[in-house]
Structure 1
Amino acid sequence: MEDFSSKRAKHVIVISYDAFSEDNWDFASSLPNLSLLISKGVYSNDLISIYPSLTYVVHSTLVTGVYPDRHEIVHNNPFQPFISEKNQEWFWYRKDINATTIYDAAKEANLTTSAILWPVTGKAKIDYNLPEVVAINGENQAFKILKNGSPFFCAKLSLKYGKVLDGVNQPNLDDFSTLCAVDTIKSKKPNLLLLHLIDLDDTKHNFGTKGTEVNNAMLRMDKRLGSIIKAVDEAGIKKDTAFMVIGDHGHIDIQYKVHLNNILKEMGLIYEDRKTMKWRAYFQCNGGSAYLHIKKDDQEAERLTLNKIKEILSVGKYGIEDLYDRTDLDKLHIHKSIKYMVEAKRGYCFDESISNTTIEDLESQRKKYSTHGYRENKDNYKCNLLISGEMIKNNTSLENLAMVDIAPTIARLLGISFPNCDGKPIEI
C-alpha cells in the first residue's frame, strides 16, 4: 500500500479554471506554465462534473466532497420565479451549504485559509476571504464585499489593485483576482488558498467553444498561472506547495434557445392576476437542463404538465431530450426538493424568461453562444484536473475521477481529517 505521509503539503493552492474541459486540453497543455505543472504532477481529462453542471453547484461539491442532494446548493440561484436573472439573489453565503467544507476542516486544524472570489463563501470563517458576491437592486458592490468577506483584507486588496478592474468585465476581473492571489501567497502564505478564475467561461458563453477568442483566454490563463507559480517561488514555499488546477464543467455550442415557460403560459399554468404573474407549474432553467416546479398539491397542474412534456418528447419538439422523475433523480444525486427535471438535446438550451418567441434560432441571427448545465455524460464534456508539486508523481495520467474526490484529496495533502465524503482521495 502506498505511503501517503510522503504526499503531505504545507500549502495547497486550488485554482478553479472555470469551464476548462477536455476539448481544451491539447492547446492549454502545450503552453509553458501549464506544461511545467504537468511535468511535475498528475493530470486527467476524465474528471466527471456534477449534475446540473452549474458553477455554484460544482464548487460546493469541490469543497465538501458530497453531491448536491447532501450539500443542498442545487442551482446558482435560489428559486425566484419571474425575477430577471440580473436582479436575482445567488447562493452567495456559506450558510447555504449544508455540509462541512474543506476550509472549515483546515481552520479547525489550525491552518490558515484564504479564498479569492470562490463561490458560496460569503461570511465564511476563512482567514483571508474576498468572496464572490455581486451587488444587485441598487446595492453598493464595495460595501457588499466588505460586509461578507474579511474587511481589512478586502479593503487593502481593493486599494492596491482595484484600478485594474472594469466592473465585472473580463479579462480585467481575472487579472485582479490573480494579483490578489499573488499578494496573498507572498504576504500571508496560507495553508489553503482557493482561487476562482472565470475568463474562459465568459469567453465561451460569448463566442462559443472554439476559435481565436477561446485560445486567447487560455493564453491569458497560462500567464496568470505563471504569476502564481512565481509568487510561490518568491514566497520561499515552492518545495512545500501543491497546486491543483480544476475545470468545473464543459460547454456545448447552442443553436436554439428554448423559453420553456412560454409553453406553460400557453397552457394557462402561468398567468397574470391583477397585474401580478402567478404560476401553477414553472421551469427553473439551468442552461442545459431545467427543474420543473409544481405548486404543492396541485395534481391537475402536475398531470397536465407531464402529459404535455410526454407529448413533446414523442414528436421531438422544443429540444427536450429526457424527462426525469424522482427514481431517476435519486440516481443522479438531485436534491429531494426537485420532483421532475428535463434535459436538453445537444445544440439546445433552456431559458427561464417568458419571451415573444418560444424557440430562438441563434444561428440564423449569427450569434455565437455556448453554455452548460447538462448531464455529466454528454460527449466531450468532461473536465480537466492537474495536481502538481514536488511531493506528487511526475507526468502521470489518471482516469475515472469525480468532483466528490477533490475535497478528500485536499484533506489528505494537508494531512487533516475530512470524513463522511461521497468521494475518496485520489492516489497521487
Structure 2
Amino acid sequence: MESTMSEAPAAKHLIVVSYDAFSEDNWETASRLPNLSKLMKNGAYSNRLKSVYPTLTYVVHTTIATGMYPDKHGIHHNNPLQPFVPEEDQHWFWFREAVKTPTIYDAARKQGMSTAGILWPVSGKSSIQYNIPEIRALKGENQALKVLRSGSPVYCIQMEMKHGRIRQGIEQPYLDDFSTQCAVDTIKRKKPNLLMMHLIDLDDAKHMYGTDSEEVHEVLLRMDHRLGEIMQAVEDAGIKDDTVLMVQGDHGQFNVRYKVHLNTLLQAKGLIYEENGELRWRAFFQCGGGSAYLHVRPGDEEAEALALAAVEEYMNNGASGVESVYDRDKLDRMHASPYTRIMLEARLGYCFDESLDEQVVVDLKAHGIRYATHGYSPDKSGYRCNIVISGAKIKHDFAIGDIEMVDIAPTMGRILGIDFSHGDGRVLEEIFAK
C-alpha cells in the first residue's frame, strides 16, 4: 500500500533508538538517570509496551518497522530453519527482501525524506540512504565486504575510517560505543529525517550475566550516557526543536537455570536419525529460547503425532520445562507466524536449545553458568517493554499506559507526517500536544 503525506508533521526529524531488552524490570533504575529522565520530563512514556510472539529481536524489530504482526510481515525467528547447523554458523534474516510488508523507512524515502540505519535488524540491501546494516560474516566470508555489499558503501567506509578504532569486533561496550558515535556524526552532518539505530549492550549483558546482575546495572548507566551523547548531537546540529527522540525496548529477558534439548527427545523416538553418516529428520524443533517451533516433513502426520507424544510424555515428568503446547488456533490468536502448526512455550526458569545433547535437561547453575534469555510469550507477567517519546510537540511528562508493539510504526508515521496506518496498530494520538 502506498504511504501518503497526512496531517502536518510533529517533527522534521525522528530518531528511533532501539534499546534491546529494555524492559519493565529496568524502568525504576533507568527512569531516574539524568538523560532518560530528561526525555521523560519532555515527553510521553510507558513501561507497559507489549511485544509480539515469539519475543525474538528480528521478529520484534520487523514489527516495529512495519506496524504488522509476525503472521503478516513474514519474519518468524532471527534465523531461517537450518537443522543441525551450530548457532554461530547459521544465516540470519539479514536482508530487507525477507520482509513481506511495507516499512516505515521505505515510506519515508518515497516522500523524499532522508533516512539512516545503524545496525537496524533485517535492513540489509534496503532503501535506507545511509545504512550500516546488522550483519555478520560466516565461515569463509569477509565482514567488511559483507557490510559494504549490504549497506551504503561510501557511508560505511566513512564511518569505519572515522570511528572504526572504537570497535573490537562485536564485543561490548565497544560495539554500542561505535554505533553511538556513528549516530552522533550522522545527526550532525546528515540531519536525516529518520534515523533508526539498534543498541545491543543490555541484551548481551542479560544473556551473559542474568537480568539482576551488577553488569546489567552498569549497562543502564552506559546507555544513559549514550542517550546523552545523542541528545547533545541533536542540539549541536541545531535541530532540537524539530526533533522527536524515541527510545524503546523490544522484549524482556528471564533468568534461566535449566536448558532443555528438545531434539534429544525426538532423537530418542527415531524422528532424528543418522543415514549414511548424516543426520536426518522427520521432526525437528527450531528453538528460540523461551519458545520452539515444531517442524515435520510435509505429509508426515505420523511424525507429528510421535513428536507430540514424546512431548506429552516429557511433560508428564514432574520436572518438565514445557509450560504449554500451542496449536494453530492459539497461535492465530497471538498473531504468530503461520510457519508451523505447533509451538512449545517454556516455563520460567527454563529455555529450549535445538542442539543435540546426551542430556535432555542441563542444569546451568550446577555448571556455574549464569544465563538469561527471551523468546517467551509477551503475555508472561513482568515481561513488558519500556518506551519514551520526547519532543516539543509531544505531551510532557505524560504516562501512556498499555500499548502494543504494532502501534509504533503508525505513530512514527504520524510524527513525520506520513500516513502509515494500513497495518495492525494505531497511532498513539493521545501523546501529541494539541
Bigger shift: 154-163 or 411-420? 411-420
Q: Secondary structure at the match of 2:367?
A: coil
* SS in structure 2 at match of 1:384: strand
8 Å contact kept, 1:92–1:119? yes
1:66-99 Cα shifts (integer Å, max 9, x gaps): 0001000000000000000111000000000000
Paired amino acid for 2:426: K
Q: How does 1:17-416 map onto structure 2 within 5 Å?
A: 17-416=19-418
C-alpha contact 1:75 1:286 (8 A) present in aligned 2: yes
The alpha carbon displacement at 1:310 in A equals 2.2
1-structure distance, mates of 2:317, 2:399 = 43
| Alpha-carbon contact 1:117-1:195 (below 8 Å) kept | yes
Q: Tell me, yes or no, if the aligned pair for 1:283 and 1:291 is still in contact at 8 Å.
A: yes
Provide the rounded CA distance (Å) in 1 between the counterparts of 2:55 and 2:135: 20
User: How far apart, CA to CA, are the structure 1 residues paired with 2:205 and 2:118?
Assistant: 20
Matched position secondary structure for 1:255: strand
CA contact under 8 A between 2:266 and 2:310: conserved in structure 1? Answer: no
Query: Hey, what's the Cα distance between the residues in 1 that align with 2:392 and 2:46?
Result: 18
What is the number of equivalent residue pairs in this alignment? 425
Name the CA distance, whole Å, in 1 between partners of 2:7 and 2:305.
Answer: 57
- Per the alignment, in what secondary structure is the counterpart of residue 154 of structure 1? helix
Match of 1:420 in 2: 422
Q: TM-score, normalised by structure 1?
A: 0.98
Matched AA of 1:360: V
Deviation at 1:417, TM superposition (A): 1.7
By how many angstroms is 1:5 displaced? Answer: 5.3
Alpha-carbon deviation of 1:119?
0.2
Superposed displacement of residue 7, structure 1: 6.1
Where do 5+ consecutive residues of structure 1 fail to align?
none
Amino acid aligned to 1:279: W
Answer with 345-354 or 356-365: which moved more.
Answer: 356-365
Query: 1:158 deviation in Å?
Result: 0.4
2:185 alignment partner AA: D
Q: Distance in 2 between matches of 1:134 and 1:6?
A: 39
Q: Is the 8 A contact 2:284 2:294 kept in 1?
A: yes
The Cα shift of 1:6 comes to 6.9
> Displaced runs of 4+ in structure 1, greater than 2 A?
4-7, 310-318
Contact 1:323 1:340 in 2 (8 A): yes
Q: Deviations over 1:111-134 (max 9, x none)?
A: 110000000000001110010010
**CA deviation string 1:191-226 (max 9, x = no partner):** 000010000000000000012110100100000000
Contact persistence 2:261–2:356 (CA under 8 A): yes
Q: Deviations over 1:129-188 (max 9, x none)?
A: 010010001210000000000000000000111111111111000000000000000000
Distance 1:243 1:343 in 2: 35
**Cα offsets for 1:353-379 (capped at 9, x unmatched):** 001222110112221100000000111
Structure 2 residue identity aligned to 1:27: T
Residue 336 of structure 1 deviates from its aligned partner by: 1.7
Higher mean C-alpha deviation, range 401-410 or range 313-322: 313-322
Identity %: 54
Deviation at 1:55, TM superposition (A): 0.1
Q: Is the 8 A contact 1:259 1:357 kept in 2?
A: yes
Partner Cα separation in structure 2 for residue 244 and residue 167 of structure 1: 27
Normalising by structure 2, we get a TM-score of 0.96
For residue 323 of structure 1, report the CA deviation from its aligned partner: 0.3
Take 1:5 and 1:104, find their aligned partners in 2: how far apart are those partners?
A: 19
- What is the CA–CA distance in structure 2 between the aligned matches of 1:163 and 1:338, rounded to whole Å? 44
* Aligned residue in 1 for 2:3: none
Alpha-carbon RMSD across the aligned residues, in angstroms, is 1.1
* AA aligned opposite 1:181: A
**8 A Cα contact 1:313 1:322, kept in partner:** no
Deviation at 1:286, TM superposition (A): 0.6
